[in-house]
Structure 1
C-alpha cells in the first residue's frame, strides 16, 4: 500500500480495511477511501488540409519526439476544455473537441489514462510555446515518415485517418438532468429512430 497515512478530507488517521471489491486505506472518522494515485491525460488530433498538428517535445518525457498536443486535466476542468486549453497553450491554435477516438490505459504506480480527441480546427498558425514544445506545425503522412514521431502518436494518426467514428458529445442526454456533465456516446445510426417506429 502507498505511503498515505492521513485523510485528505479531515486529517484523521487512515486504517486498512476491506471496502467494496478490495482492500483500501480508509478514514476512521469520515467516509474518505483512498483508492490510489491516478492521472488523466488528453491528446489532440487536429487535422487541417489533410495534415495533422504535431509538436516536438522540449522536455522529458519524450524530449525530441513529435507528438500530438496534449497534457493533463485540471481537477475542476471538463476534459473537452482541458484539451482545447492544451492545444492553445502549446501551439496558439484554437480547436474544439468533436469526439473521443482513442483511450490508452497504463496501470502503474500512478495509474495513467490517456484520452485521444478528434478536434475541429478553428483558427491560428502553429507557434511553439518555447517551454514544453520547441516546434509545431501541420504535417502530412509523407512528412512524418522522416520525423521522430512517438509510437503513441503513430497510433493516434492511424485512428484519426482510418476509423469510422468515435464517441461524440451527447448534447441531448436522457434524462436531461445529466446535462451538467460532459457525456460522450456512440452515435445512433441515422435510421435507428425510423426503424423503432415501424
Structure 2
C-alpha cells in the first residue's frame, strides 16, 4: 500500500528518486518514507537441558510449538521486549544472555528482522496465557521429536545448541554514552 500522506505533518506525499530508489517524500516537510519494517524477537530459554516452548493458539503458526517471542513496541528497548514477551506468554522470568541468531525476511508488505536471544532462566513454571499460546513447557530434544515444532524454531534450537561462539553479548559498559541505545558485541 502506498503512503499518500506524511506521517509527520499530514501533507500529501510524492515520488522522488533518493539514492537511486523511488521513494515517497512529503511535499511540505520533505520527510521520507523509507519503507515498512517490523522487528520481532524470540527467546531460547534452557533449563535442565530442556528448551522452553509454547504452542501457538493463533495464526500464524496456530498449533505449532515455537520459542516464545513477539514484536517490539516503538519506545521499548529490544532486551526488555524479549523479557516481556516470555513473561506474557508463559509466566517465566528471564534475563538476556546474548543474541544467538538473526533472520532477515524482506517482503513486499513489511520487511521483518527477527532477533533471537539466548536467555537465562530465573524463575517460574510455564503456564500458557490462554490467548496467544495454549500450551507451554520445558521439553527435551527427545520429546520434541514427537511434537509439531515449527521449522524455524528447530533451526534456532540448533543454532543455540550447536553454535561455536558466545554470540553477541549486551555491552553493559560501552566506551561511549548509549543515549538509550542497546549496544551488543562479541565479547
SS of the equivalent of 2:121 reads strand
Question: 5+ residue gaps in structure 1?
Answer: 188-198
Question: How high is the TM-score relative to the length of structure 2?
Answer: 0.96
Report the counterpart of residue 127 of structure 2 in structure 1: 127
Report the counterpart of residue 68 of structure 2 in structure 1: 69
Q: Is 2:95 the partner of 1:101? A: no
Q: Which has the larger radius of gyration?
A: 1
Deviation string 1:114-140 (CA, Å, 9 cap, x unpaired) is 110000001000000001100000001
The separation in 1 between residues aligned to 2:70 and 2:129, in whole angstroms, is 13
The answer as to whether partners of 1:171 and 1:179 remain within 8 angstroms in 2 is no
Question: 5+ residue gaps in structure 2?
Answer: none
Deviation string 1:153-184 (CA, Å, 9 cap, x unpaired) is 0011101111122100111212x222531010
The separation in 1 between residues aligned to 2:58 and 2:124, in whole angstroms, is 24
Deviation at 1:38, TM superposition (A): 1.0
Report the counterpart of residue 166 of structure 1 in structure 2: 167
The separation in 2 between residues aligned to 1:21 and 1:89, in whole angstroms, is 43
The separation in 1 between residues aligned to 2:179 and 2:97, in whole angstroms, is 17
How do 1:1-198 and structure 2 match up within 5 A? 2-108=1-107, 109-163=109-163, 164-174=165-175, 176-178=176-178, 180-187=180-187
The separation in 2 between residues aligned to 1:177 and 1:88, in whole angstroms, is 30
Report the counterpart of residue 193 of structure 1 in structure 2: none
The separation in 2 between residues aligned to 1:49 and 1:115, in whole angstroms, is 24
The separation in 1 between residues aligned to 2:20 and 2:97, in whole angstroms, is 35
The separation in 2 between residues aligned to 1:95 and 1:178, in whole angstroms, is 23
CA RMSD, 1 decimal: 1.0
The separation in 1 between residues aligned to 2:123 and 2:20, in whole angstroms, is 48
The separation in 1 between residues aligned to 2:173 and 2:17, in whole angstroms, is 39
SS of the equivalent of 1:160 reads helix
The separation in 1 between residues aligned to 2:167 and 2:18, in whole angstroms, is 35
The answer as to whether partners of 1:53 and 1:139 remain within 8 angstroms in 2 is yes
SS of the equivalent of 1:159 reads helix
